[in-house]
Amino acid sequence: MAGVSLYSSPSFSVLCLAQKQKLHFSVSGDNQNVPFLSRSLASLRLNSSANPLPVCKPFVTRFSDSGSSVAESEPDSSVIKSELQSETLVSEPVKQEPKREELFAVVMVGSRQYIVFPGRFIYTQRLKGANVKDKIILNKVLLVGSKTSTWIGKPVVTNAAVHAVVEDQLLDDKVIVFKYKKKKHYRRKIGHRQPITRLRILSIAGYEDYPAVALSDIEPIK
């Protein structure tokens, strides 16, 4: 009962009213000076106390570390130029391989003529009695030519010979032979593979003593 009479006394009520007026006066004064802060002043204080702003030090350190790493990964342009110049100076000159001898011959094997070059191979008709890795000599040399002169046989170049080796005895590609007779119900389809020999040309020799014909010796046609 005493407590109730204390709160209901006129002196206590007058004191509370004076404090409320003083508080209202201070808030209204703040609103007149800074009007845009009057609405959310309490919310800003609560938010600032509840959720403090993060410290920016870790971000700054990470950024500095990344900048240093980028700086280390990107070398200076002057260093690159000096390295390129040193590489160009140290580079060795390109060695040109010697060209093979510009020499060819025309030989007759069976009933056909072939142009042969040393180091290359040709396919001829089957040579009977020749085995793989056997060395043979082709004596029917009709012509021998080089870059500057020519040896023309009449009909062959005497003492000239083409040395070769047998690489393989094989069959040529299949050829289809089809026979047909109309109104007779006659049809035949036959496949044939011709036996051939592959020769590797080793060298051309023996033509040096034969008289050669140069371009200067040939008379122009009038």
Write out pLDDT tens, residues 102-131: 899 999 999 999 999 999 999 999 999 999
Q: For residues 168-192, b (16+ Cβ closer than 10 Å) or e, as one string?
A: eeeeeeeeeeeeeeeeeeeeeeeee
Q: What is the length of the chain?
A: 222
Q: Cβ(167)–Cβ(128) under 8 Å?
A: no
**Bigger pLDDT: 24 or 207?**
207
Question: Do strands 103-109 and 112-116 pair parallel, antiparallel, or not at all (unpaired)?
Answer: antiparallel
What is the average per-residue pLDDT within 196-210?
A: 93
Q: Cβ(189)–Cβ(176) under 8 Å?
A: yes
- The secondary structure of residue 221, as a DSSP letter, is P
Write out pLDDT tens, residues 147-189: 888 999 999 999 999 999 999 999 999 999 999 999 999 999 9
Query: Alpha helix locations (H) across 9-122?
Result: 10-33, 41-50, 57-73, 77-90
pTM (two decimals): 0.50
**Bigger pLDDT: 92 or 110?**
110
